[in-house]
Amino acid sequence: ADNLPSPKVLLADRGYDANSIRAGMEERDVLPVIPMRKSRKKGFGVARSLYRLRNLVERCFNKLKNARRVATRYDKTAKSFLGFIDITSIRLWLRHLST
């Protein structure tokens, strides 16, 4: 985990709209892209173009979870689990290229 880049943006849904989460992300210089709850009195702007990317990520996870082995996590080690996610991702990519 030491070689991962630091995040620049947090994409989340309304359930994560809390002052503590927003403050924590701003301390780490991360842009929180979270739509505000309807009950919130102080409004925050949301970059809609960035928030649309959240849908792409969720659809990707949904397609990965269609592979039963990924959804139930049969693999014992993280290395074999990530290997199967790679195989499933390649399969999805090839299916996308053929259409």
Domain range spanning residue 15? 1-56
In whole numbers, what is the pLDDT of the chain averaged over residues?
84
Residue 29 lies in a domain: yes
Q: For tokens 């693999």, what's the residue?
A: 75
Q: What is the pTM of this model?
A: 0.62
Residue 61 lies in a domain: no
If asked whether residues 52 and 79 sit together in one domain, one would say no
If asked whether residues 72 and 42 sit together in one domain, one would say no
If asked whether residues 71 and 49 sit together in one domain, one would say no
pLDDT at residue 66 in the model: 83
Does residue 35 register a pLDDT over 80?
yes
Residue 87 lies in a domain: yes
pLDDT at residue 1 in the model: 58
Does residue 88 register a pLDDT over 80?
yes
